[in-house]
A and B are shown apart, each in its own frame.
Chain A
Amino acid sequence: MTTLLQQLLREHRAELLADWLKSLHAPWEHPTPQDGTHHEPNQRLHALFEDILTALERPPSDRFELDALDPLAKHLRQLVADQARRGAGSSETIGLMLSLKRLISKRLIEQSPSDSSGDLLWLEQVFEQLTLLAFAAFLDIREHLITQQSLSLLELSTPVLRLWHRILLLPLVGVIDTGRARQITESLLEAIARHEARVTILDLTGVPVLDTSVAQHLMKTIDAARLLGTRVVMTGISPEGAQTLTKLGIRFADVISRATLRAGIAEALLMVGQRITSIEDGRP
C-alpha cells in the first residue's frame, strides 16, 4: 500500500526540492574559498535531499533507525563537518532539515488535513533522528577542533536552537567567562520569550572544565530561565565532570540532569508531552 507521504514525495519531488533550495539563504550562495576545496554546495544539498526522501519513503514504522554507514548518515556528517569548519553553528544544518520538514508537512496537511496524522508522525520520527545525528556529529567535530586549535576557537558563538515546539536547546561550547555567560543568558531569555519555551536543554558536552566559576554562571543562567517559566534539563556532564562537581560541593538545585543529549531530549519531549496530554484530559 502506498502512503499519502510516499505519493506526495513521488509526485512533487521537483517542487519540493526547488522550494527547499529557495528557503535556504545566504551561506549556501557563498561557498567559502578558504579551505581551497571548492564544493558545489547545491550538489551536496541535492544528494542530501535525495537521501532524506529515500528514508522518508521507507514503510512507516514505530521507530526510524539509521545505520551509521548509511549514505544519508555519511552525507549529513560531511555537511555538518563543512559547516563546522567554516565556523558556522550547528543551527545551520539543523535549520536546513527543519525547513525541509516544514515544507513537506505543510504540503501533506494541505493535501489531506484529515488522514495525514500517521504520515506526520513518521515525518517527526525521521527528522528527530536526523536532527540528533547532525547534532551529535556537530559536537564531535567541535570538540575535535577545540582540542586541535585550542584557544583560537574558544570564542564561539552560542546559538539557541528551537528543537521542537516549546523546547529549546542551548549547546554550550568552549570557555564560559562573565562576558559570554551574560551574552548566553541574554540570547536564551530572548529565545524563551519568543518561542514560549517550556523546556530548555542546556548541553554541556562542549564545556572543557566545570569549575566553580562556570558553575556559578550556569546557576545564574538557569535561575533566569526559570523565572521565565521554563524547566531546565542539563545534559552532557561526563562522569568525571559529575564526580568533580560533587567534590567541589556544587549542586544544581531542581535541575534534571541526563548523561547524554539524546536522553535529555527524550526527557524534554516527555515534559512537553505530559503537559499537553494533561490539559486535553482536563477538558470534557
Chain B
Amino acid sequence: MPELLVSERIPVRIATDIVIARRAARELCERLGFGKADQTRLATAVSELARNVIQYAGEGVCLIEDRSDGVSRRIRVVVEDQGPGIADLGRALTDGFSTGGGLGAGLPGTRRLVDEFQIESAPGRTCVTIVMAKPF
C-alpha cells in the first residue's frame, strides 16, 4: 500500500474546469509511469465526463486519485454531480444516443477507453467512476 495517497478534488463548473481536470488526470498518469496512449485515453475520458456534468447537470466535482497497490498502478477518477440524473441508463450507454444534440458517444466511448467503468444515476445524483490500471 502506498503511504502517500495522491488525491485531487477539482470543482467542475465552467468549461476551463474541464481542461484543468483532464490535465490533472494526464499529469498523474504520466507521473505514475503510464504510457502516452494511456494518458490520452484517460484525459479524453475525463474530458467526456466533465463536459457531461457541465452540459447536463450544471456543476459537479471530479476526484482524481492514485490508487496504486503492490500489484498495479491504478488511477481512479470519480465524476459526480447533483443534477437531474439519467432517465434511461441503458440508452445513455448506447452509441449515438443524446438528449443534447451531441454525438452520443461520450458515455459508451468512455466505457471502452478505460479499464473499469461504473455508473450510478438517480434524480439528484449521477456518479461515474473510472479506473485506469497497469501492472507494475
- Give A contacts to B, CB under 8 Å: 150-151, 154, 175, 177, 208-213, 215-216, 238-241, 243-244, 247-250
Contact = CB atoms under 8 A, between A and B. Distances in A.
B40 A244 contact: yes
B89 interface: no
B48 interface: yes
B15 interface: yes
B22 interface: yes
A154 B109 CA distance: 26
Contact of A209 (B15, B36, B47, B102): B47
B95 interface: yes
A212 B102 contact: yes
Interface in B27-74: 36-37, 39-41, 43-44, 47-48, 51
13 contacts: A150-B19, A150-B23, A151-B20, A154-B19, A209-B44, A210-B44, A211-B44, A212-B105, A212-B109, A244-B40, A244-B44, A250-B103, A250-B109
Which secondary structure characterizes the binding site on chain B? helix
Nearest to B20: A151
Contacts, number: 71
Nearest to A239: B37
B91 interface: no
B16 interface: yes
A209 B103 CA distance: 16
The residue among B15, B19, B20, B51 with the most chain A CB atoms within 10 A of its own CB is: B19
B43 A243 contact: no
A247 B113 CA distance: 6
Contacts of B103: 212, 215-216, 250
A100 to B, nearest CB: 39
